[in-house]
Amino acid sequence: MQRISRDDLRALLDAGSVTLVEALPEPHYDAEHLPGAVNLPSDLTAELAAQLASDSAGTVVTYCSGPSCGRSKVAAAAFGRLGYRDVRVYEGGKMDWAAAGLPFEGSRTAPRMTR
């Protein structure tokens, strides 16, 4: 499973050449998520994968709360089983993003997650 660094993820986001998928329950996504991310609220099915990332040859990056959260790896493996060829995991997740002082989208106005 390929991993991606924060800097490499930012470059892909800036280029608009990535589908960024948060693999946390919907309330966590609604509260705060990385800019441009879509939410994977449940188990990945072929139909849901096509809705989230229509191009199976494009780059898909999954993330969750941080290094101790395994949801991003589970989601990445599911995309791989469905034939997506360039799937990467941002293991630092929200924790690493917040530590770098980078912006989030969502409804949260309180301090960021620290899990």
Q: Is residue 30 part of a domain?
A: yes
Range of the domain at 20: 2-99
- Residue 87 has a pLDDT of 97
- Residue 110 has a pLDDT of 45
- Residue 8 has a pLDDT of 97
Beta bridge partners of 62: 21, 89
State how far the Cα of 110 lies from the Cα of 113, in Å rounded to an integer.
9
Q: Is residue 54 part of a domain?
A: yes
Active site residue 64: yes
Q: Is residue 113 part of a domain?
A: no
CB atoms near residue 111 (< 10 Å): 7
pTM above 0.85, yes or no: yes
10-residue block means of pLDDT along the chain (115 residues)? 95 96 95 96 85 92 96 94 95 97 82 46
* Count of domains for the chain: 1
Q: Is residue 81 part of a domain?
A: yes
CATH number of domain containing 9: 3.40.250.10
Q: Is residue 112 part of a domain?
A: no
Residue tagged active-site, from 60, 64, 75, 78: 64
Q: Is residue 13 part of a domain?
A: yes
